[in-house]
Structure 1
Amino acid sequence: MTSGLGAALAEASSPSWARRACVGRDLASFAEVPEAAEALLGLLLDAEDTAVTRQTAEALAWVGTVAAMRLIALAVAEADDDQADWLQTGVHDALVDPGDGLDVAAVCGKLARDPEEAVRRGAADISAWVVGKGF
């Protein structure tokens, strides 16, 4: 594990919401690393501040990999209504100015065949958000 990844993981439980949001953005590109994935899921479902949820979801959607979107789908499946609203906002924020190749709908299509039911359910919700907003 790189020292930068280890440092970010250590900050994932910071008492500062701003620091946790920064960690969510920093860890997004490591979504396929099990330790980072665990921390990211916790940040997506942050019980203390919705800004952490929103910014982590945006960063993961911007990365757009199957691993990144799988984490958002898991969070959606576990989220309460308020958290789900902020997860949706974070995904929409990433889609407003998509980067090259960002195709959340295509990735959700792949996740629709995931062996885990919660991932399939969350991916279906994300797909509905994307279609509903015309992305």
Structure 2
Amino acid sequence: MAKTMNGLQTALAEASSPSWWQRGRAGRDLASFAEVPEAAEALVGLLLDTADTSVTRKTAEALARVGTVAAVRLIALAVAEADDNHADWMQTGLHDALAGPGGVPDISAICGQLAGDPEAAVRQGAVGILAWTEGCEVM
């Protein structure tokens, strides 16, 4: 447990690094902590990274690969706030996860669950993600 908490603290520190590479790695490393409030806040910030959309893409891919309701909920929150450029890169990251090796959970089913979320931004973002997954084939 201590090692896991150390990993969380390290990734949280990297999330605010000036290095795009470290922020991208933080997005990947924090994805499995999507239900932890501190990590969730950092992940939404990484999805909306203003300095480098590579961070956006890598974080979206990592969250989609984790594929929990908490992880996809964070993508939905960010989609609702995103400009078109960031939304495009989140969509690309999601497609990277769906097309990549090693199965990805059913993102469409998770978006269906999020359609009943009490937060309007999550419901709105889930609709956007659902549209992205239509016609996507998992390889």
TM value normalised by structure 1: 0.95
1:116 and 2:119 aligned: yes
Q: CA RMSD in A?
A: 1.4
- The structure-2 alpha-carbon separation of the partners of 1:99 and 1:111, relative to structure 1 and needing over 3 Å to count, comes to farther
1:4 and 2:23 aligned: no
For residue 105 of structure 1, what is the amino acid of its counterpart?
A: S
Structure 2: any 5+ residue segments left out of the alignment?
Answer: none
Percentage of pairs with the same residue:
70
Q: Which of these residues, 88, 91, 112, is aligned with residue 88 of structure 1?
A: 91
Map 1:1-135 → 2, pairs under 5 A: 2-97=5-100, 99-100=102-103, 102-134=105-137
CA shift, 1:97, in A, is: 2.8
Cα distance between partner residues in 1 of 2:101 and 2:126: 19
Judge which range, 6-15 or 70-79, deviates more.
Answer: 6-15
For residue 35 of structure 2, what is the amino acid of its counterpart?
A: E
Cα distance between partner residues in 2 of 1:48 and 1:65: 27
- The structure-2 alpha-carbon separation of the partners of 1:95 and 1:30, relative to structure 1 and needing over 3 Å to count, comes to same
Superimposed CA distance per residue, residues 71-103 of structure 1 (whole angstroms, 9 cap, x where no aligned partner): 000000000000000000000100003644610
For residue 80 of structure 1, what is the amino acid of its counterpart?
A: D
For residue 133 of structure 2, what is the amino acid of its counterpart?
A: V
Superimposed CA distance per residue, residues 94-134 of structure 1 (whole angstroms, 9 cap, x where no aligned partner): 00036446100000000000000000000000000101435
Judge which range, 93-102 or 77-86, deviates more.
Answer: 93-102
TM value normalised by structure 2: 0.92
Superimposed CA distance per residue, residues 20-71 of structure 1 (whole angstroms, 9 cap, x where no aligned partner): 0000000000000000000000000000000000000000000000000000
Structure 1: any 5+ residue segments left out of the alignment?
Answer: none
Cα distance between partner residues in 1 of 2:97 and 2:137: 14
CA shift, 1:3, in A, is: 1.4
